[in-house]
Amino acid sequence: MEKPPSHPELLPGFITIQQHIIANQRRHSEATGEFSFLLSGITIATKVLASRVRKAGLVDVLGSTGCTNVQGETVQKLDRMANDLMMHCIGYRRSVAVLASEEVEGAVDLTETGRSGKYIVLFDPLDGSSNIDVNIPTGTIFSILIRPDPTEWEGQADIQAEVLQPGLKQVAAGYVLYSSATTFVYTTGDGVHQFVLDPEIGAYVLVSERLKMPDRKRVYSTNEANSLSYPAPVRQYLDWTKQPDSNYSSRYVGSFVADFHRILMQGGVFLYPPTAKSPQGKLRLMYEANPMAFLAEQAGGRAIDGSTRILEKKPRQLHERTALYIGSRQEVEIIEGFIEGKGAPKA
Ligand code: FBP
């Protein structure tokens, strides 16, 4: 793997996330180090989680808690552990004013404790958790925003409303994939960088910088069991992919982080359209679609909901769902062509 040229001041051999962020922050005169300390909360929480996931089946972390979360889903034991770890490790950082999790109804207002932090951190503590008992890769997804300028609020600031910012406002986003290796991928709007957890030294080590998603790859990723209730143009697209001269293949893990990571590295397109079961789409805008859309665009890809760029969507609720078409730019544009009634791309 080519050594990244942009950090001559760092020791050759390996670069950890903390070193990488601090080196990048040096380029921003206004940087205070708060951001790197915030991100260290996520790296600590996910390292602990990685060790638990790796021992699933050996220690009592499999199965459900018997409770149901705000999404109406059964809460897995590891869902709860992941949520508690993220809440604790990130919440410990005084620069964080608000925490919002897939597992918790409302945003958690930390300013009530008298702190005046500027960051809002949203996260899906364990994406794909329904796969954990069968040892299929899962992940943690995070999105970081800055509190809006208080002058924007007449009277009392409304923490719940402060969280509802379009994806374009994200200052950072990323995910951790718990699989054959534990991989940490993030962006601060200056390219997409990948780290792998070295269990021997307990550090995430840089393996590639400024990842570029291939522009075209004839691989689609969707739960086709739902396809009869997909919008007609999307069904036409899937029929077209099955034409002999279309040469498409299909891959679907059923864990969004795993499916997205494959697409980031090899290209392709992931689609979760509106369905009869999920008329708004299934994936959550604020802590699933927005962070992945930021990463996709930073890597040269594209992310839409069928008509609007995901990052431009104005959120109305914390847990709102969205239709999602994300991946290689040309693959998403082909689907857009079908949705706009232009049909199959000219050969
Ligand atoms: P959560 O596990 O965080 O609720 O995520 C939803 C998810 O599991 C995604 O990871 C995955 O892409 C999708 O749902 C799978 O949905 P389906 O089972 O309908 O194909």
The full length of the chain comes to 347
Structure tokens of 316? 């109305």
Residue nearest atom 16 in ligand 1 by C-alpha distance: 254
Residue nearest atom 8 in ligand 1 by C-alpha distance: 128
Q: How many CB atoms within 10 Å of residue 272?
A: 25
Mean per-residue pLDDT of the chain: 91
C-beta of 284 in contact with ligand 1 (< 6 A):
no
Q: Which atom of ligand 1 is closest in space to residue 130's alpha carbon? A: 2
What whole-number distance in Å separates Cα of residue 78 and Cα of residue 101?
A: 14
- pLDDT tens digits for range 40-49: 999 999 999 9
Radius of gyration of the CA atoms of the chain, in A? 20
Mutating to test ligand 1, I would choose from 73, 130, 322 the residue with most ligand atoms within 8 A of its C-beta, which is 130
- pLDDT tens digits for range 195-240: 999 999 999 999 999 999 999 999 999 999 999 999 999 999 999 9
Q: Record the pTM.
A: 0.94
- Residue 229 C-alpha to ligand 1 middle, in angstroms? 17
Residue nearest atom 7 in ligand 1 by C-alpha distance: 128
Geometric angle at alpha carbon 321, from 316 and 322, rounded to 5°: 100
3-state secondary structure of 302: strand
- Residue 165 C-alpha to ligand 1 middle, in angstroms? 23
Residue nearest atom 6 in ligand 1 by C-alpha distance: 128
- pLDDT tens digits for range 169-203: 999 999 999 999 999 999 999 999 999 999 999 99
Mutating to test ligand 1, I would choose from 283, 284, 287 the residue with most ligand atoms within 8 A of its C-beta, which is 283
- Residue 56 C-alpha to ligand 1 middle, in angstroms? 20
- Residue 106 C-alpha to ligand 1 middle, in angstroms? 21
- CA distances 157 to 96, 202, 314, Å, are 16, 40, 19
What whole-number distance in Å separates Cα of residue 318 and Cα of residue 165?
A: 10
User: Given a cut of 70, is residue 134 above it in pLDDT?
Assistant: yes
- pLDDT tens digits for range 59-68: 777 788 888 8
Q: Which atom of ligand 1 is closest in space to residue 71's alpha carbon? A: 4
- Residue 108 C-alpha to ligand 1 middle, in angstroms? 24
- pLDDT tens digits for range 252-264: 999 999 999 999 9
